[in-house]
Amino acid sequence: MNKNGKIYVVGIGPGKKADMTFKAYEAMEKSDVIVGYKTYTDLVKEYYPDKEIVSSSMMKEVDRCTDVLKMAKDGKNVALISSGDAGVYGMAGIMLEIADDKIEVEVIPGVTATNAAAAITGAPVMHDYVTISLSNLLTDWELIKKRLELAAQGDFVVSIYNPKSRGRVTQIEEAQKIMLKYKPKTTPVAIVRNAGRENEEYVVTTLEEMTKHEIDMLTIVIIGNTNTYVKNGKIITPRGYSKKYEY
């Protein structure tokens, strides 16, 4: 009879080894099999050329976790991977929902898409911020809109995930309109595509102009607060308000 294996839910960061943590890298190395959405397994397979890799298509998250649980019960150590941090719109929650107390599940944190995108464009997320996904697949659009409204009212920096997909193109424009009700139209905005991956690209623009740029499902959009400004091409959100510090 097999001893149970262990499940590592691994946040691989944006994708390159450089942005992985040592623990994430080693968890994949000591696993018998790496499981994930194909886009993510494609990002890591070059680092583990001899490893068994099982990739599945999007929307199959529940099946994927059921398979992972079965593998662990068959005695395999499994690395279930997500890009960014597995605990932020990733696989950690669903894996823990499906797991039972007989299998050890360890969540290994990673660099989020927001953090990766922010670093490239300067320091737009220095102060209180909100992370919102515009995907209405599992959340009603009315709640998403309410959250955008509240985030804008609170002058939070706003990081938007899943701004657009093939079948969903108007949400980012609605989000922009909601933001414009409370934030100045000159508010700096970073649009970052493929943050930390091949073909990384970004543009620094404004809340008013943002929808004139290409935005797709690989894009993160970061919208500043009222203190955010641009200097030498970098977006900077100061770490406080009210001129409480000087330099």
For residues 144, 146, 148, 149, the Cα torsion angle rounded to the nearest 10 degrees is: 170
Residue 213 burial (10 A CB sphere; 0-12, 13-18, 19+): middle
CB of 104 to its own copies, least distance (A): 11
Q: Which of residues 72-101 bind its own copies (CB under 8 A)?
A: 85-90, 92-101
217 binds its own copies (CB under 8 A): no
User: CB of 168 within 8 A of CB of 120?
Assistant: no
Of 52 and 114, the one with the shorter C-beta distance to its own copies is 114
71 binds its own copies (CB under 8 A): no
User: CB of 36 within 8 A of CB of 71?
Assistant: no
Q: Tell me how far CA of residue 187 lies from CA of 81, 123, 133, 155, in angstroms.
A: 35, 14, 20, 11
Select from 52, 74, 128, 214 the one that contacts its own copies (CB under 8 A): 128
Select from 138, 166, 170, 199 the one that contacts its own copies (CB under 8 A): 138
CA distance 240 to 37: 39
CB of 66 to its own copies, least distance (A): 8
Q: Which of residues 146-175 bind its own copies (CB under 8 A)?
A: 146-147, 150-151, 153-156
Of 45 and 208, the one with the shorter C-beta distance to its own copies is 45
Provide the mask over 25-64, with x wherever binding to its own copies is found by CB under 8 A and - wherever it is not: xx-----------------------------------x--
Q: Which of residues 1-30 bind its own copies (CB under 8 A)?
A: 11, 13, 17-23, 25-26
**Sign of the torsion formed by the C-alpha atoms of 154, 177, 230 and 194:** positive
Of 215 and 230, the one with the shorter C-beta distance to its own copies is 230
User: With contacts defined by CB under 8 A, how many residues of the chain interact with its own copies?
Assistant: 82
With left for phi above 0 and alpha for psi between -120 and 50, is residue 138 left, alpha or beta?
Answer: alpha
In the DSSP assignment, the letter for residue 34 is: E
Of 15 and 214, the one with the shorter C-beta distance to its own copies is 15
Of 26 and 208, the one with the shorter C-beta distance to its own copies is 26
Q: Which of residues 108-127 bind its own copies (CB under 8 A)?
A: 108-112, 115-116, 118-120, 122-127
Residue 191 burial (10 A CB sphere; 0-12, 13-18, 19+): buried
List CB contacts of 164: < 8 A, sequence separation 6 or more: 134, 171, 172, 215, 216, 217, 219
Select from 1, 58, 137, 170 the one that contacts its own copies (CB under 8 A): 137
